[in-house]
Amino acid sequence: MTTTKRRIAAGIGALLVAAALGGATPAAADPDNGPANTPPPKVDLVLDLSGSMNQNDAGGQTRIDAAKKAFNEILEALPSEALVGLRVLGQGNPGNNKAAGCQETAQLAPVGKPDKAAMKVAVAAQRPTTGWTPIGLTLRKAAEDLGNEPGTSRRIILITDGEDSCAPPDPCEVARELAAAGLNLVVDTLGLVPDEKTRKQLTCIAAATGGTYTSANNAQELSERVTQLVDRAVVKAEEVTTPTTVKGSPNGCADAPLLGPGVYNDREEFEQHLWYRVPQLPGQELRASATVGIDRAVARDYDVTITATTEDGRDLARHTDAGSGRMDGQSAGLRYSMPAKGDDKPEAKDAKIVCLMVSTAFNANAGVPRTPGMPVELLVDLVAASDAQAADTHGLGRGWIFLGVLAGVGLVGGLLFGWLVRFFSGMRRAV
C-alpha cells in the first residue's frame, strides 16, 4: 500500500469554495499538525542469528561477520533524528528442541535514540548457534517494539539468510495481519545469499506491507542496502506528508465528506463503493487517484475504479485498473478539467461539486477475513487547466482537421490498393 508519497499542492480555490458553501471546510492536512508535531519515525533492525549464518560464503567471510560489519557502519551513519532499535532471532542453542527454539527472539536495544556504543557491543557478542528461524513470531514482537502511537511511521528491516522454520505462524500471514491493523507499518526484507524459497518468502512479507525486498552477497552490499533502507525510513519530518483519515460514504454523494487538495486514508470493504465530494472551480483540473493496499490473500482477477460524476450522476471521467495474482496494491487515477468561465476570474459561487466514487471488485476465499476493509489512499489535487489538458485529455487529436487527415489517408490508401489489385489482375489475364 506505500507501497513513495507524492506531494500535493495546496488549493486556495478550494478554501474559497468552502466559505461559499456555508462554512463547510474540506478535510485537509491540519497546519497545526505539521512537521513540529509529527512523531518521529521508528525503525527496528532485526537480525537472524540461526546456525546457517556461520556459513563462509558472504564475499569470503561468514554471513554473521558480514552482518556485524554492516551494522557497525550503519550505526555510525545514523542521522541524529533516528529512533532505532535492535532485535535478534534464533539466538539460542536449543539443539533439537523445536518448541524452545521457535520462541527464540530477543530485543537487544529498545527503539529510541540509539546508544551506539552499547549497540555495537551487543552485536559483537552475538554468535550464531543451532537456533531455529522464527520469523513470524519475531515480526509480531518487532511490531510491539515499535508501539502504536497514532501518526507514527514504523519500519521493520529484517535481515536473514533463510526462510521461517517454525510456522505457524506463517510470516506472510503475520505481515498481512500487521498491514490490516492500520499501524502504518512497513516491513523491508533483505536476503543474505538467499536461495529461491527464501527469496519467495521474503518477497511475500515485503509485498504484504508495501515494503521492498533486496538481496546481498557480501558485507559491502549488505551495508549499502540497509543504509538505503534506513535513510528511506528516517526522513526529515518536513518531508513527510501525513495523510488525513476520512470516511467515505457508502450511500452516495449526498452525504459524502467534502475534500480539498490533500492525501487521505480510508478503508473499503470488498465490492464496495465509497463516495467523496470535491469543490471545483471553472478553469481548474481535478486530479485524483485511489490506491487500495492488498493486505491479505485475495482471489485472482480484481480491479479498482475511480469515477468522477456530477451531483445528479452524470459521468465526467472514469478509470479502471485490473490485476491478477498477488500484489501489494492496485491503483487507478483520473483527470477532469472544468471549462473556464469566459475571461472572468472564477469566484467561490461558481464552484461545482464533483463526486468521486472509488469502487473495488475484490473477493477472497473462505477463511480470509473480510474486516476491517482494505486500506485506501486517496490523493486529490486541483491545478490550473491548460487548453491542451482540457482538449486532449486522452492524448488523441480532435476536431475537423484531424478527421480530415484520417479521411484523406484512408481515401488515398483505398485508391492505391484498388489500382494495385486491377494492375496485377490484368497481368495474370495477359499471361
**Per-residue model confidence as pLDDT tens digits over 150-165:** 778 888 989 888 899 9
User: How would residue 1 be classed by pLDDT, with cut points 50, 70 and 90?
Assistant: very low
Residue 430 is predicted with a pLDDT of 61
Asked whether residue 41 carries a pLDDT value surpassing 60, the answer given is: yes
Residue 21 is predicted with a pLDDT of 34
Domains of the chain and any CATH numbers: 12-29+242-391 (2.60.120.380), 39-239 (3.40.50.410)
Mean pLDDT of the chain: 77
Over residues 42-71, the pLDDT tens digits come to: 899 999 888 888 887 767 778 888 888 877
Longest dimension (CA), the chain: 99
Residue 176 is predicted with a pLDDT of 87
Nearest to 150 by CA among 264, 244, 43: 244
Over residues 284-329, the pLDDT tens digits come to: 899 999 988 877 777 877 889 999 999 999 999 999 888 776 566 7
65: burial class by Cβ within 10 Å (0-12, 13-18, 19+)?
A: middle
Residue 405 is predicted with a pLDDT of 63
Asked whether the beta carbons of 208 and 329 are under 8 A apart, the reply is no
Over residues 352-376, the pLDDT tens digits come to: 999 999 998 888 777 777 778 888 9
Cis peptide before 372 (omega within 30 of 0): yes
Q: What is the mean pLDDT of residues 260-282?
A: 91
Q: CA 232, 143, 85, 187 torsion: positive or negative? A: negative
Asked whether residue 399 carries a pLDDT value surpassing 50, the answer given is: no
Q: Is 154 helix (H, G, I), strand (E, B) or coil?
A: strand
Residue 386 is predicted with a pLDDT of 59
Q: How many CA atoms lie within 13 A of 211 on its CB side?
A: 31
d(CA 366, CA 65): 45
Which of 38-42, 69-73, 136-140 is most confident? 136-140
Asked whether residue 332 carries a pLDDT value surpassing 60, the answer given is: yes
d(CA 141, CA 145): 6
Residue 401 is predicted with a pLDDT of 56
Question: Percent of the chain at pLDDT above 70?
Answer: 77
User: How would residue 12 be classed by pLDDT, with cut points 50, 70 and 90?
Assistant: very low
Residue 35 is predicted with a pLDDT of 44
Residue 402 is predicted with a pLDDT of 54
Three cell numbers, residue 247: 470516511
Asked whether residue 3 carries a pLDDT value surpassing 60, the answer given is: no
Residue with cell 521492498: 212
**DSSP of 101-113:** HTT-EEEEEEEES
Over residues 90-110, the pLDDT tens digits come to: 887 767 788 888 999 999 999
Residue 77 is predicted with a pLDDT of 73
Asked whether residue 243 carries a pLDDT value surpassing 80, the answer given is: no
Residue 76 is predicted with a pLDDT of 77
Residue 51 is predicted with a pLDDT of 80
Q: What is the mean pLDDT of residues 8-16?
A: 33
Residue 286 is predicted with a pLDDT of 92
**Report field, pTM of the whole predicted structure over 0.85:** no
Residue 73 is predicted with a pLDDT of 78
Return the higher-pLDDT residue of 235 and 267: 267
